[in-house]
Amino acid sequence: NAGVTQTPKFQVLKTGQSMTLQCAQDMNHEYMSWYRQDPGMGLRLIHYSVGAGITDQGEVPNGYNVSRSTTEDFPLRLLLAAPSQTSVYFCASRRQGHTGELFFGEGSRLTVL
Partner 1 sequence: GIQVEQSPPDLILQEGANSTLRCNFSDSVNNLQWFHQNPWGQLINLFYIPSGTKQNGRLSATTVATERYSLLYISSSQTTDSGVYFCAVELGDYKLSFGAGTTVTVRA
- Write out the residues near partner 1 by the rule CB under 8 A: 31, 33, 35, 40-45, 48, 50, 56, 58-59, 88, 90, 98-104, 106-107
Nearer to partner 1, 36 or 85 (CB): 36
Q: Phi first, then psi: give them for residue 73, nearest 5 degrees.
A: -115, 145
Under DSSP, the state recorded for 83 is G
Nearer to partner 1, 44 or 65 (CB): 44
Minimum Å gap between C-beta 95 and partner 1 is 11
Nearer to partner 1, 15 or 111 (CB): 111
